[in-house]
């Protein structure tokens, strides 16, 4: 698996860090992106594989930053094979009290950041006539959730974006799929009250919360040769919660 270069956004912790460690173990060269440079460096130091890696601090909601990151990856590592759009945020609140800022921030990072990175790698993937794009959405993008209208809208839009990109780039052997995690134990879910956690656990047939590694396995599959004929799909990784 030489010269397989993958960009992972939101790689400084949580699911993104687990994806980076899994892809490193699978032999990929990695470009790790998030805003916190120190946290990214910590993840880079923990990578188990012998592949090359770059730590590239940047904000996915800035197209200028995204172009700079992708330019450096191509210059210092080579043409991009895979992109994992994982960076994401929540700004929860009931609709009547949701501020314009809370709406926009979530859409800017979760949806526009996914658009920016996908756009920035597309020309190179088209020239290579191969590519894998994996977008991390959420089961909330399928079901909706009270208090998360902004987040649910952003994640549902990522699924529609994924299907459109799959149709547009399929002719160049570029696949584009989404992974929809359920409840995964990370900083994003750490603040939930115990009663809410207990209620959610009761709804999970596999009777445990997910770990970053559970999502990383699905991402690794969609990046692999085994998934060469799969595109436009959303793979739900939720212990059976929403099925
Ligand atoms: P997390 O622990 O909060 O990590 C979020 C990651 O995104 C961090 O690396 C963060 O790094 C990065 N990030 C946030 N804003 C960014 C920006 N503007 N530019 C660049 N990087 C940014 O969350 P997580 O649980 O691992 O979630 C990862 C993805 O899975 C998200 O898309 C999330 O919506 C999705 N998801 C999570 C769950 C769950 O239960 N945890 C369920 C379904 C879907 P910096 O702060 O350093 O920038």
* Ligand 1 touching residue 239 (CB < 6 A): no
**Interval 84-108: pLDDT, tens:** 999 999 999 999 999 999 999 999 9
Please state, in angstroms and rounded to a whole number, the distance separating the CA atoms of residues 12 and 101: 24
The helix/strand/coil state of 3 is coil
β-bridge pairing 53-57 and 29-34: parallel
Backbone torsions φ then ψ of 60, nearest 5 degrees: -65, -15
Percentage of the chain beyond pLDDT 70 is 99
Nearest CA to ligand 1 atom 16: 87
Q: Whose CA is nearest to atom 48 of ligand 1?
A: 35
Catalytic residues: 151
Write down the pLDDT at residue 243.
73
CA 100 to chain centre: 24
Residue nearest to ligand 1 atom 8, measured at CA: 10
Could you tell me the pTM of the whole model?
0.98
Whether ligand 1 lies within 6 angstroms of the CB of 189 is answered as: yes
CA distance 241 to 229: 27
Residue position matching structure tokens 């990695």? 30
DSSP summary character for residue 207: -
Strand partners, 9: 33
Q: Cα(171) to centroid of ligand 1, in Å?
A: 31
- CA distance from start to end of the chain: 35
Give, for ligand 1, the residue of 7, 8, 14, 179 to mutate: max count of ligand atoms closer than 8 Å to Cβ: 14
Residue 85 alpha carbon to ligand 1 centre in Å: 10
Contact of 237 with 218, CB cutoff 8 Å: yes
pLDDT(35) > 70: yes
Which residue's C-alpha comes closest to atom 34 of ligand 1? Answer: 88
Mean of all residue pLDDT scores within the chain: 97
Between the CA of 60 and the centroid of ligand 1 the distance, in Å, is 11
- Helices 63-76 and 113-128 pack at an angle, to 10 degrees, of 30
Over residues 174-216, the pLDDT tens digits come to 999 999 999 999 999 999 999 999 999 999 999 999 999 999 9
Instruction: Give the Å distance between the CA of 87 and the centre of ligand 1.
Output: 4
**Any ligand 1 atom below 6 A from CB of 15:** yes
Q: Is 159 in the pocket of ligand 1 (CB under 6 A)?
A: no
- Which of 224, 228, 223 is CA-nearest to residue 84? 223
Domains in the chain, ordered, with CATH?
5-235 (3.40.50.720)
List, for residues 112-158, the tens digit of each pLDDT value.
Answer: 999 999 999 999 999 999 999 999 999 999 999 999 999 999 999 99
């Amino acid at each position: 698996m030489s010269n397989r270069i993958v960009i992972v956004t939101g790689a400084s912790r949580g699911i993104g860090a687990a994806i980076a460690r899994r892809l490193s173990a699978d032999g990929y060269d990695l470009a790790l992106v998030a805003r916190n440079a120190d946290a990214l460096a910590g993840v880079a130091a923990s990578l188990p594989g012998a592949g090359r890696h770059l730590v590239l601090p940047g904000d996915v909601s800035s197209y200028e930053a995204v172009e700079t990151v992708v330019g450096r990856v191509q210059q210092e590592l080579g043409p991009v094979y895979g992109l994992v759009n994982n960076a994401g945020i929540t700004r929860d609140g009931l609709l009547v009290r949701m501020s314009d800022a809370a709406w926009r921030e979530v859409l800017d990072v979760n949806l526009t950041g996914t658009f920016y990175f996908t756009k920035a790698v597309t020309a190179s993937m088209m020239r290579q006539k191969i590519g894998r794009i994996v977008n991390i959405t959420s089961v909330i993008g399928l079901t909706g959730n009270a208090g998360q209208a902004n987040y649910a809208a952003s994640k549902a839009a990522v699924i529609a974006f994924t299907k459109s990109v799959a149709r547009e780039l399929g002719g160049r052997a570029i696949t584009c799929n989404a992974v929809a995690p359920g409840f995964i134990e990370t900083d994003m879910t750490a603040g939930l009250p115990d009663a809410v956690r207990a209620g959610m656990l009761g709804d999970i047939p596999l009777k445990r919360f997910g770990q970053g590694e559970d999502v990383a396995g699905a991402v690794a599959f969609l990046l692999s040769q085994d998934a060469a004929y799969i595109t436009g799909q959303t793979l739900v990784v939720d212990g059976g919660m929403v099925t």
